[in-house]
Amino acid sequence: MPQEPTIHSSYEKKTGTWQYVVADPSTLKAVIIDSVLDYDPSTQTISTETAECLLSMISDKGYKIEKILETHAHADHLTAASYLQNRLEREQGFKAPICIGKRITQVQDMFGQRYGVPADEYKGVFDKFFDDEESFEIGNLTATVTHLPGHTPDHIGYIIGENVFCGDSLFHTDIGTARADFPGGSASSLYNSGRKLLQLPGHYKIWLGHDYPSVERGTPVDCLSVRDHKERNKHLANNTTQEEFVSMREARDATLAAPKLLHPSLQMNIRAGRLPISTPMGLRFLHLPLKFKGAEWGA
């Protein structure tokens, strides 16, 4: 039986995001998974309250962060990976690498071109690209990378002991699965990723990337068992076929609005959370694409 980690989950309410600190209890070595940088779109203000809460807990527990992990380039919140790396380097005396799946380079190039982000602002920002099924150590724990495409092509999860951190693939059983309509996304691939997760032993815990609880449920939930999903996941239970899933998922996605923080999230996250380079006036900019009703005008 694999050694089990200590898991601390932290819910960021504005974006419905679960962040995790996963630690080896015997060595106090740990990783951070899918951190959040606060962003107020009404004032274009970035702040670090949520990240500081993580750092405070890490300090209180005496953990040493060995890696900062991302499951994918998120489109609904900004990552705090770069900020945490800088803060932890000062406190720990070493630079914890920011790690992500190897297909992130495709996503960086695609959105870098779309938003006009200079390549030198996103090349080399991640310290480690994981291969599929690559394993690494967290103290005496072993973590394994699993490719979970569908929501995005670069999406991965992390299996640590009898736990899998699935990012934006499966959601709570009463929600089902993540959307698959982003560039490079695929409902068919998402179905296969869901089935891959449900092939794990029934008692394994699936830790969610997000939760959006209904009024009736009220409280956000961080994890459910594989068995729970097999029996109750509204998109995958009851022997749902791939054809049925793809039809449902694509029809559902066609009704969804873009995430509120789509544009700032993608521009920051392909940079691993680094800030845009400042102008000679000391200003930093993110691009916002315009839409037009009727014809455009001007040169």
* Mean pLDDT for all residues in the chain: 97
CA angle 244/247/252 to nearest 5° reads 120
**Mean pLDDT score, 218-228:** 97
Split at pLDDT 50, 70, 90, the class of 238 is: confident
Q: b or e along 217-255 (b: 16 or more beta carbons within 10 Å of the residue's beta carbon)? A: eeebbbbbbbebbbeebbbbeeebeeeebbebbeebeee
Helix and strand numbers (H, E) in the chain are 7, 14
The confidence score (pLDDT) of residue 299 equals 61
Specify the residue for token string 């209890």: 25
Split at pLDDT 50, 70, 90, the class of 207 is: very high
**Mean pLDDT score, 186-198:** 98
In the chain, where the domains are located: 6-270
Over residues 160-178, the pLDDT tens digits come to 999 999 999 999 999 999 9
**Mean pLDDT score, 102-130:** 98
Class of domain 6-270: alpha beta
Over residues 1-52, the pLDDT tens digits come to 668 999 999 999 999 999 999 999 999 999 999 999 999 999 999 999 999 9
**Mean pLDDT score, 78-84:** 99
Split at pLDDT 50, 70, 90, the class of 75 is: very high
**Mean pLDDT score, 240-267:** 97
Backbone angles phi, psi at 288, to 5 degrees: -125, 110
**Mean pLDDT score, 98-106:** 99
Say what the pTM is.
0.96
- Give the whole-number percent of the chain exceeding pLDDT 90: 95
E strand residue ranges, 163-248? 163-165, 205-207, 223-225
The confidence score (pLDDT) of residue 298 equals 75
Return d(Cα 172, Cα 207) in angstroms, integer.
9
The confidence score (pLDDT) of residue 1 equals 60
Host H or E run for residue 122: none
**39 beta partners:** 46
CB–CB of 22/6 below 8 Å? Answer: yes
The confidence score (pLDDT) of residue 296 equals 80
